[in-house]
Protein backbone atom coordinates (compact mmCIF):
# COMPACT_ATOMS: atom_id res chain seq x y z
CA UNK A 1 0.00 0.00 0.00
CA UNK A 2 1.11 3.55 -0.64
CA UNK A 3 1.29 6.17 2.13
CA UNK A 4 -2.15 7.42 1.08
CA UNK A 5 -3.70 4.00 0.99
CA UNK A 6 -3.43 3.05 -2.69
CA UNK A 7 -2.56 -0.49 -3.71
CA UNK A 8 0.17 -1.15 -6.23
CA UNK A 9 -2.50 -2.06 -8.77
CA UNK A 10 -4.08 1.38 -8.44
CA UNK A 11 -0.78 3.15 -9.07
CA UNK A 12 -0.59 2.42 -12.79
CA UNK A 13 2.97 2.85 -14.03
CA UNK A 14 2.50 0.69 -17.12
CA UNK A 15 1.12 3.54 -19.24
CA UNK A 16 2.37 7.12 -19.53
CA UNK A 17 0.32 9.71 -17.70
CA UNK A 18 0.16 13.35 -18.90
CA UNK A 19 0.86 14.68 -15.38
CA UNK A 20 4.08 12.69 -15.12
CA UNK A 21 5.09 13.53 -18.69
CA UNK A 22 4.58 17.22 -17.85
CA UNK A 23 6.76 16.77 -14.78
CA UNK A 24 9.47 15.42 -17.08
CA UNK A 25 9.15 18.41 -19.44
CA UNK A 26 9.68 20.67 -16.44
CA UNK A 27 12.81 18.79 -15.44
CA UNK A 28 11.24 16.95 -12.52
CA UNK A 29 12.05 13.47 -11.20
CA UNK A 30 8.59 12.27 -10.19
CA UNK A 31 8.02 10.19 -13.31
CA UNK A 32 8.64 6.69 -14.60
CA UNK A 33 10.48 5.16 -17.55
CA UNK A 34 7.26 4.81 -19.52
CA UNK A 35 6.53 8.53 -18.98
CA UNK A 36 10.04 9.55 -20.00
CA UNK A 37 9.92 7.45 -23.16
CA UNK A 38 6.59 8.94 -24.20
CA UNK A 39 7.76 12.46 -23.36
CA UNK A 40 10.94 11.98 -25.38
CA UNK A 41 8.81 10.84 -28.31
CA UNK A 42 6.90 14.12 -28.05
CA UNK A 43 10.12 16.12 -27.75
CA UNK A 44 11.49 14.48 -30.93
CA UNK A 45 8.37 15.61 -32.78
CA UNK A 46 8.08 18.96 -30.99
CA UNK A 47 11.45 20.15 -29.67
CA UNK A 48 9.54 23.06 -28.13
CA UNK A 49 7.60 20.82 -25.71
CA UNK A 50 9.87 21.77 -22.81
CA UNK A 51 9.88 25.56 -23.34
CA UNK A 52 6.11 25.37 -23.88
CA UNK A 53 5.65 23.62 -20.54
CA UNK A 54 7.84 26.18 -18.77
CA UNK A 55 5.97 29.08 -20.37
CA UNK A 56 2.70 27.50 -19.28
CA UNK A 57 3.96 27.19 -15.72
CA UNK A 58 5.14 30.81 -15.71
CA UNK A 59 1.70 31.90 -16.93
CA UNK A 60 0.09 30.06 -14.01
CA UNK A 61 2.24 31.95 -11.53
CA UNK A 62 1.44 35.32 -13.07
CA UNK A 63 -2.28 34.59 -13.30
CA UNK A 64 -2.52 33.36 -9.71
CA UNK A 65 -0.80 36.48 -8.44
CA UNK A 66 -3.19 38.63 -10.49
CA UNK A 67 -6.42 37.04 -9.24
CA UNK A 68 -5.26 37.08 -5.62
CA UNK A 69 -4.37 40.77 -5.95
CA UNK A 70 -7.90 41.15 -7.30
CA UNK A 71 -9.34 39.86 -4.04
CA UNK A 72 -9.57 36.09 -4.55
CA UNK A 73 -9.02 34.05 -1.40
CA UNK A 74 -10.02 30.58 -2.61
CA UNK A 75 -8.82 28.57 -5.57
CA UNK A 76 -9.79 25.28 -7.23
CA UNK A 77 -6.85 23.96 -9.25
CA UNK A 78 -8.05 21.11 -11.51
CA UNK A 79 -5.43 18.98 -13.20
CA UNK A 80 -2.74 20.23 -10.89
CA UNK A 81 -0.24 17.52 -11.86
CA UNK A 82 2.89 16.48 -9.98
CA UNK A 83 3.69 19.18 -7.41
CA UNK A 84 6.34 21.57 -8.75
CA UNK A 85 7.45 24.40 -6.48
CA UNK A 86 6.35 27.10 -6.34
CA UNK A 87 2.92 25.49 -6.28
CA UNK A 88 -0.35 27.35 -6.57
CA UNK A 89 -0.79 27.83 -2.83
CA UNK A 90 2.79 29.06 -2.45
CA UNK A 91 2.36 31.68 -5.17
CA UNK A 92 -1.03 32.75 -3.82
CA UNK A 93 0.16 33.07 -0.24
CA UNK A 94 2.99 35.36 -1.21
CA UNK A 95 0.18 37.84 -1.89
CA UNK A 96 -2.31 36.80 0.82
CA UNK A 97 -1.46 34.21 3.50
CA UNK A 98 -5.11 33.23 4.05
CA UNK A 99 -5.79 31.84 0.55
CA UNK A 100 -7.41 28.38 0.52
CA UNK A 101 -6.57 25.97 -2.30
CA UNK A 102 -8.30 22.76 -3.37
CA UNK A 103 -6.16 20.69 -5.73
CA UNK A 104 -7.74 18.15 -8.09
CA UNK A 105 -6.11 15.47 -10.23
CA UNK A 106 -7.06 12.02 -11.51
CA UNK A 107 -3.67 10.36 -10.99
CA UNK A 108 -3.28 8.45 -7.69
CA UNK A 109 0.47 9.09 -7.87
CA UNK A 110 -0.22 12.82 -7.74
CA UNK A 111 -2.34 12.13 -4.67
CA UNK A 112 0.59 10.37 -3.01
CA UNK A 113 2.79 13.42 -3.56
CA UNK A 114 0.07 15.86 -2.53
CA UNK A 115 0.21 14.93 1.15
CA UNK A 116 3.88 15.82 1.34
CA UNK A 117 4.02 18.86 -0.92
CA UNK A 118 0.57 20.43 -1.28
CA UNK A 119 -1.69 19.86 1.71
CA UNK A 120 0.71 19.92 4.66
CA UNK A 121 0.69 23.71 4.94
CA UNK A 122 -2.95 24.01 6.06
CA UNK A 123 -5.91 25.55 4.24
CA UNK A 124 -5.23 23.22 1.31
CA UNK A 125 -6.71 19.90 0.28
CA UNK A 126 -6.51 17.32 -2.47
CA UNK A 127 -9.32 15.63 -4.40
CA UNK A 128 -8.70 12.53 -6.50
CA UNK A 129 -11.18 13.14 -9.31
CA UNK A 130 -11.43 13.66 -13.06
CA UNK A 131 -12.30 16.93 -14.78
CA UNK A 132 -14.70 14.92 -16.95
CA UNK A 133 -16.92 14.52 -13.88
CA UNK A 134 -17.40 18.14 -12.78
CA UNK A 135 -20.38 17.41 -10.52
CA UNK A 136 -18.27 14.92 -8.55
CA UNK A 137 -15.64 17.59 -8.03
CA UNK A 138 -18.13 20.25 -6.96
CA UNK A 139 -19.83 17.96 -4.45
CA UNK A 140 -16.68 16.43 -2.98
CA UNK A 141 -16.36 16.89 0.81
CA UNK A 142 -12.89 18.44 0.49
CA UNK A 143 -14.22 21.04 -1.95
CA UNK A 144 -17.19 21.76 0.28
CA UNK A 145 -14.93 22.14 3.32
CA UNK A 146 -12.46 24.52 1.69
CA UNK A 147 -14.53 26.45 -0.84
CA UNK A 148 -17.40 28.82 -0.02
CA UNK A 149 -19.42 29.17 -3.20
CA UNK A 150 -21.06 32.30 -1.87
CA UNK A 151 -17.73 34.08 -2.30
CA UNK A 152 -15.64 34.52 -5.48
CA UNK A 153 -13.47 31.59 -6.51
CA UNK A 154 -10.60 31.26 -8.98
CA UNK A 155 -11.01 28.14 -11.13
CA UNK A 156 -7.74 26.95 -12.67
CA UNK A 157 -7.90 24.76 -15.77
CA UNK A 158 -4.25 25.00 -16.74
CA UNK A 159 -3.06 22.59 -19.46
CA UNK A 160 -5.92 20.17 -18.81
CA UNK A 161 -8.69 20.63 -21.39
CA UNK A 162 -6.53 19.45 -24.29
CA UNK A 163 -6.76 16.04 -22.63
CA UNK A 164 -10.56 16.14 -23.01
CA UNK A 165 -11.86 15.04 -26.40
CA UNK A 166 -14.61 16.84 -28.29
CA UNK A 167 -16.87 13.85 -27.63
CA UNK A 168 -16.39 14.41 -23.89
CA UNK A 169 -17.78 17.95 -24.25
CA UNK A 170 -15.09 20.19 -22.74
CA UNK A 171 -17.27 23.30 -23.16
CA UNK A 172 -20.04 21.61 -21.18
CA UNK A 173 -17.57 20.70 -18.45
CA UNK A 174 -16.39 24.29 -18.14
CA UNK A 175 -19.99 25.54 -18.18
CA UNK A 176 -20.96 23.18 -15.35
CA UNK A 177 -18.01 24.32 -13.24
CA UNK A 178 -18.60 27.96 -14.12
CA UNK A 179 -22.27 27.86 -13.18
CA UNK A 180 -21.28 26.96 -9.63
CA UNK A 181 -19.13 30.08 -9.29
CA UNK A 182 -20.57 33.39 -8.07
CA UNK A 183 -20.04 36.71 -9.81
CA UNK A 184 -16.55 38.06 -9.25
CA UNK A 185 -14.99 34.63 -9.81
CA UNK A 186 -12.21 34.00 -12.29
CA UNK A 187 -11.43 31.33 -14.87
CA UNK A 188 -7.69 30.82 -15.46
CA UNK A 189 -7.14 28.64 -18.51
CA UNK A 190 -4.37 27.49 -20.81
CA UNK A 191 -4.65 25.13 -23.74
CA UNK A 192 -2.27 23.49 -26.19
CA UNK A 193 -2.61 24.60 -29.79
CA UNK A 194 -1.28 23.83 -33.23
CA UNK A 195 -1.69 27.44 -34.35
CA UNK A 196 2.03 28.06 -33.93
CA UNK A 197 3.21 24.53 -34.84
CA UNK A 198 0.59 23.35 -37.36
CA UNK A 199 2.86 20.83 -39.09
CA UNK A 200 3.19 18.65 -35.97
CA UNK A 201 -0.35 18.71 -34.62
CA UNK A 202 -1.26 15.18 -35.73
CA UNK A 203 2.08 13.71 -34.69
CA UNK A 204 1.81 15.21 -31.21
CA UNK A 205 -1.62 13.64 -30.73
CA UNK A 206 -0.23 10.32 -31.94
CA UNK A 207 2.50 10.45 -29.30
CA UNK A 208 -0.17 10.47 -26.58
CA UNK A 209 -2.24 7.64 -28.05
CA UNK A 210 -1.01 5.08 -25.48
CA UNK A 211 -1.20 7.49 -22.55
CA UNK A 212 -4.01 7.50 -20.00
CA UNK A 213 -5.49 10.54 -21.80
CA UNK A 214 -5.35 11.45 -25.47
CA UNK A 215 -4.30 14.85 -26.75
CA UNK A 216 -6.68 17.18 -28.61
CA UNK A 217 -5.00 20.47 -29.46
CA UNK A 218 -7.37 23.26 -30.54
CA UNK A 219 -7.08 26.50 -32.45
CA UNK A 220 -8.01 29.96 -31.19
CA UNK A 221 -11.64 29.64 -32.27
CA UNK A 222 -11.89 26.26 -30.56
CA UNK A 223 -10.64 27.61 -27.24
CA UNK A 224 -12.52 30.91 -27.01
CA UNK A 225 -15.93 29.30 -26.25
CA UNK A 226 -14.55 28.00 -22.96
CA UNK A 227 -14.71 31.59 -21.72
CA UNK A 228 -18.46 31.95 -22.40
CA UNK A 229 -19.93 33.68 -19.36
CA UNK A 230 -16.59 35.29 -18.46
CA UNK A 231 -15.18 38.65 -19.51
CA UNK A 232 -11.57 38.27 -20.60
CA UNK A 233 -9.04 40.45 -18.81
CA UNK A 234 -6.61 42.34 -21.02
CA UNK A 235 -4.83 41.31 -23.15
CA UNK A 236 -7.41 38.59 -23.82
CA UNK A 237 -6.68 35.06 -25.02
CA UNK A 238 -3.08 35.21 -26.21
CA UNK A 239 0.02 33.11 -26.58
CA UNK A 240 0.91 32.37 -22.96
CA UNK A 241 4.09 34.49 -22.61
CA UNK A 242 2.19 37.54 -23.88
CA UNK A 243 -0.23 37.50 -20.96
CA UNK A 244 1.00 40.27 -18.64
CA UNK A 245 4.69 39.28 -18.80
CA UNK A 246 7.06 40.04 -15.97
CA UNK A 247 9.72 42.42 -17.25
CA UNK A 248 10.44 42.81 -20.94
CA UNK A 249 7.98 41.40 -23.48
CA UNK A 250 8.98 38.01 -24.93
CA UNK A 251 11.01 38.03 -28.12
CA UNK A 252 9.82 36.62 -31.42
CA UNK A 253 12.20 33.70 -30.94
CA UNK A 254 10.81 32.96 -27.47
CA UNK A 255 7.24 33.07 -28.75
CA UNK A 256 8.08 30.72 -31.60
CA UNK A 257 8.78 28.00 -29.02
CA UNK A 258 5.46 28.16 -27.17
CA UNK A 259 2.41 26.12 -28.20
CA UNK A 260 -0.03 27.37 -25.56
CA UNK A 261 -2.78 29.95 -25.42
CA UNK A 262 -3.58 31.47 -22.05
CA UNK A 263 -6.28 33.73 -20.71
CA UNK A 264 -8.07 34.86 -17.57
CA UNK A 265 -11.77 35.68 -17.47
CA UNK A 266 -13.92 37.28 -14.78
CA UNK A 267 -17.52 36.27 -14.22
CA UNK A 268 -20.08 39.01 -13.98
d(CA 80, CA 36): 19
pLDDT tens column, 87-108: 899 999 999 999 999 999 988 8
For residue 69, pLDDT beyond 70 = yes
Average pLDDT over residues 79-86: 80
Q: Would you call 196 helix, strand, or coil by DSSP?
A: coil
For residue 64, pLDDT beyond 50 = yes
Q: What is the pLDDT of residue 148?
A: 98
Q: What is the pLDDT of residue 5?
A: 45
- Residues contacting residue 17 through CB under 8 Å, at least 6 positions apart: 35, 107, 109, 211, 212, 213
Q: How far is CA 94 from CA 14, 17, 44, 67, in A?
A: 38, 31, 37, 12
pLDDT band, residue 211 (cuts 50/70/90) = low
d(CA 56, CA 215): 16
pLDDT tens column, 11-42: 556 778 777 887 888 777 777 788 888 888 87
d(CA 153, CA 146): 11
Establish whether the linkage from the previous residue to 86 is cis, with ω within 30° of 0. Answer: yes
For residue 119, pLDDT beyond 80 = no
Alpha-carbon Rg for the chain in angstroms: 17
CA atoms within 13 A on the CB side of 225: 12
Report which secondary-structure segment, H or E, holds 99: none
d(CA 230, CA 221): 16
Bridging pattern class, strands 230-232 and 154-158:
unpaired
What pTM did the predictor assign?
Answer: 0.87
For residue 9, pLDDT beyond 60 = no
**Burial zone of 249 (CB within 10 Å; 0-12 exposed, 13-18 middle, 19+ buried):** exposed
d(CA 77, CA 114): 13
Q: What is the pLDDT of residue 206?
A: 65
The set of long-range contacts for 128-136, using a CB threshold of 8 Å and a minimum separation of 24, is 128/104, 129/104, 129/105, 130/106, 131/78, 131/79, 131/104, 131/106, 131/157, 131/160, 131/161, 131/164, 131/173, 132/164, 132/168, 132/173, 134/173, 134/176, 134/177, 135/176
Which of the two residues, 205 and 1, has the higher pLDDT score?
Answer: 205
Q: What is the pLDDT of residue 39?
A: 81
Q: What is the pLDDT of residue 7?
A: 43
Amino acid sequence: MSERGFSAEELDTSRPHPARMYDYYLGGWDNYQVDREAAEQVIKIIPDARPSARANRAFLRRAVREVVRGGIRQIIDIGTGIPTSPNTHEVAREEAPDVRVAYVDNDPIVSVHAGAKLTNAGNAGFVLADVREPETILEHPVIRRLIDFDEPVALLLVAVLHFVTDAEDPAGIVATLGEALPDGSYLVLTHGTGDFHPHVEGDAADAYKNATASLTVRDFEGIMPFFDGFDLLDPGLVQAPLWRPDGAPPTVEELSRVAFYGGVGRKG
